[in-house]
Homo-oligomer: A and B are copies of this chain.
């Protein structure tokens, strides 16, 4: 994991425009928003899915997995920058640092998000992330769908509309499948396709794994928001409760939320059972996501 995280960090350093290039302040802010923080869960999933589909790590093309990981981190970072804006979640702390609009200004943060989204598509289009250009076009479509109004951005819209309402667990699940799940599913789908995965049964198993992991990620986030501290998480805890936002903890209580995360972890492992040792890293990541403390 540390190796993939370090590779991703180095690759992001390289693919983000230099702060010496005009418009300097925008580029400086883009780098601030993306570099030096984050668990890099999505790149870890890209690498693990790429290795699972290739059969083992040595047969996966790590250069293209690296680019896909960078693209997903650009999308993820853009979503955090926009979510932290005053008109959205209005948060001032992110990854233990001032949020982008606090360190720079709101207008710059808006453009940082907009530019990072474009950069993600640029990266997937300008590098040969797949042997077959038809599959590469498909990968760009997968990324676009994951980001859009029926993916991540749509999930954020549902989240906003849910403030102050009591959601049922299926409604919560619907929200998070979009808000967090869409990009996590894209990470697995893109990693697998970079290794030429095309068998529908294998892609379906990987997608089922990704759905479980994506949901588990959010359930655990809600648990940590209740049980952990601002210092440990590097972001403001207890905000959901303060903002009257529905969470798995508010819907299920702490004990049942933890049990749900555990159940999703088992489901994720089950989805991988037909894939043998090649899927070991994916299995490890499911454990990491559920058992993490930050």
Chain A residues near B (Cβ < 8 Å)? 17, 21-23, 25-27, 30, 78, 82, 85, 87-88, 105-108, 110-111, 113-115, 117-119, 121-122, 124-126, 133-134, 136-138, 140-141, 143-145, 147-151, 153-154, 156-158, 160-161
Q: Compute how far the CA of A180 lies from the CA of B106 in the bound complex, rounded to whole angstroms.
A: 22
Write the nearest CB–CB distance from A179 to chain B, whole angstroms. Answer: 11
A119 x B26 contact (CB < 8 A): no
Q: Compute how far the CA of A113 lies from the CA of B85 in the bound complex, rounded to whole angstroms.
A: 14
Residue among A78, A106, A108, A140 having the largest count of chain B Cβ atoms under 10 Å: A140
Listed from nearest, the 4 A-B pairs whose CB atoms lie closest are A118-B148, A122-B144, A87-B106, A125-B141
- Contact sample, A vs B, 24 pairs, CB 8 Å cutoff: A17-B149, A22-B154, A23-B149, A23-B158, A25-B157, A25-B161, A26-B149, A30-B149, A78-B114, A82-B114, A85-B87, A87-B107, A88-B107, A108-B157, A113-B114, A115-B148, A118-B145, A118-B147, A121-B140, A124-B140, A125-B144, A133-B133, A133-B137, A136-B137
Q: Compute how far the CA of A76 lies from the CA of B169 in the bound complex, rounded to whole angstroms.
A: 38
Q: Compute how far the CA of A160 lies from the CA of B133 in the bound complex, rounded to whole angstroms.
A: 39
Write the nearest CB–CB distance from A150 to chain B, whole angstroms. Answer: 7
- A78: chain B residues at CB < 8 Å are 114
Q: Report how many copies the assembly holds.
A: 2
Residue among A105, A108, A118 having the largest count of chain B Cβ atoms under 10 Å: A118
- A145: chain B residues at CB < 8 Å are 118, 122
Write the nearest CB–CB distance from A276 to chain B, whole angstroms. Answer: 33
Write the nearest CB–CB distance from A15 to chain B, whole angstroms. Answer: 12
A148 x B119 contact (CB < 8 A): yes
Which one, B82, B121, B134, B151, contacts A110 given CB within 8 A? B82
